[in-house]
Amino acid sequence: MCDRLGGTDARKEQGPAMTNSSSKGVRLLALVAVAFTGCGRRGESVVVGPPACVAGAHAACVCADGTSGSQRCAPESRSYEACACEPPPEDPAVVALRGLAALRDRACACRDEGCNQEVERDFRDLADRYRNLVFDDDQREQVSTLASEMTVCLMNVVTGNLAASDDEIASTTVETCDAYVASIAALVRCDNVDDEERAKLRAGRDRLLGGLGDLSAARETERAQASDACLMALNAVRTGARGMGCAVE
């Protein structure tokens, strides 16, 4: 087979004449060797087909959502790697709502007029940035709610109707809820927590305590439910604190 493909006469290289059985054995071994090494001369390798692409080169491809992506030719030049697709851009309305929620949380953490003025300035910047944005009905309702909550918090600073500071919150009379409140107070003092995150932590705490209401006269079933809710919140705070490198009891 190889002498036909390679143009050589294997019989000329056999040397002295052999018996029929010996010749058959040699030819069989030669065929087996060819099967495993391919046809070639003096160790030359055989290239099976041309490369499919140039290693490292990029080509356009189509992502699952119909958008365009890019794929790179694998190092062995035999195939392209998987199509690399960029995530779709985030909805600007969602980004705007997230920014407004952060401002609401900051406003509710304010304790002086200077903080109020910073929030009002950043709110004007946010409103100017998204002045041409169109919201759907549900998003408009969210905007209205967040803006109302922010306004109330800013007015509380003006009127002096401020919530108690982190260390002045009265006992809830439920042990796990008091532990949750204490964990928030400890976490907001951690240097690794920025002002925006502190505002979120305080706002989350106030919403939870406001939802639980006065537990001192609550029924045992209600106190048990409150305890379960506070325990979940406490565990979440402890997990977050570890991730930020903060010590919380």
User: Tens of pLDDT along 224-234?
Assistant: 999 999 999 99
Element (H, E) at 69: strand 68-72
Count the alpha carbons within 13 Å of 7 in the hemisphere toward its beta carbon.
Answer: 1
Lowest-confidence segment of 22-26, 80-84, 219-223, 232-236 by average pLDDT: 22-26
Domain for residue 224, yes or no? yes
pLDDT value at residue 11: 46
Domain for residue 218, yes or no? yes
Cα–Cα distance, 202 to 28 (Å, whole number): 85
**Residue 168 to residues 35, 109, 165, 229, Cα–Cα distance (Å):** 86, 14, 5, 22
Q: Are residues 70 and 117 in the same domain?
A: no
pLDDT mean over 198-225: 86
Q: How many domains does the chain have?
A: 4
Residue 46 — φ and ψ, nearest 5°? -110, 125
pLDDT value at residue 109: 83
pLDDT value at residue 168: 66
Tokens matching residue 141: 């309702």
Q: Each residue of 60-78: pLDDT tens digit?
A: 888 887 888 888 898 888 8
Q: Are residues 214 and 180 in the same domain?
A: yes
**Quick check: 209 pLDDT over 50?**
yes
pLDDT mean over 92-104: 93
Domain for residue 167, yes or no? no
Lowest-confidence segment of 18-32, 54-68, 93-107, 108-122 by average pLDDT: 18-32
Q: Are residues 179 and 219 in the same domain?
A: yes
Q: Is the pTM of this model over 0.75?
A: no
Domain for residue 33, yes or no? yes
pLDDT value at residue 49: 55
54: Cβ–Cβ under 8 A, 6 or more apart, which residues? Answer: 73, 77
**Residue 86 to residues 3, 59, 71, 94, 239, Cα–Cα distance (Å):** 54, 15, 12, 19, 31
Q: Are residues 238 and 204 in the same domain?
A: yes
Boundaries of domain holding 103: 96-159
pLDDT value at residue 9: 47
* Residue found under tokens 């600073």: 157
Domain for residue 44, yes or no? no
pLDDT value at residue 31: 43
Of 90, 97, 57, 60, the C-alpha closest to 74 is: 57
User: Which 3 state secondary structure label does DSSP give 80?
Assistant: strand
Reported as a pLDDT band with limits 50, 70 and 90, residue 103 is very high
**Quick check: 110 pLDDT over 80?**
yes
Q: Are residues 74 and 111 in the same domain?
A: no
Average pLDDT, the chain: 78
Domain for residue 116, yes or no? yes
Domain for residue 198, yes or no? yes
**Residue 119 to residues 33, 116, 140, 199, 215, Cα–Cα distance (Å):** 81, 5, 21, 12, 33
Q: Each residue of 132-157: pLDDT tens digit?
A: 998 999 999 999 989 888 888 888 78
* Residue found under tokens 């998204």: 130
Lowest-confidence segment of 80-84, 116-120, 134-138, 199-203 by average pLDDT: 199-203
Q: Are residues 60 and 107 in the same domain?
A: no
pLDDT value at residue 127: 92
Q: Each residue of 198-208: pLDDT tens digit?
A: 888 888 888 88
Q: How many CB atoms lie within 10 A of CB 112?
A: 9
Lowest-confidence segment of 10-19, 82-91, 161-170, 209-218 by average pLDDT: 10-19
Cα–Cα distance, 144 to 142 (Å, whole number): 5
Domain for residue 140, yes or no? yes
Cα–Cα distance, 143 to 140 (Å, whole number): 5
Q: How many CB atoms lie within 10 A of CB 123?
A: 20
pLDDT value at residue 98: 93
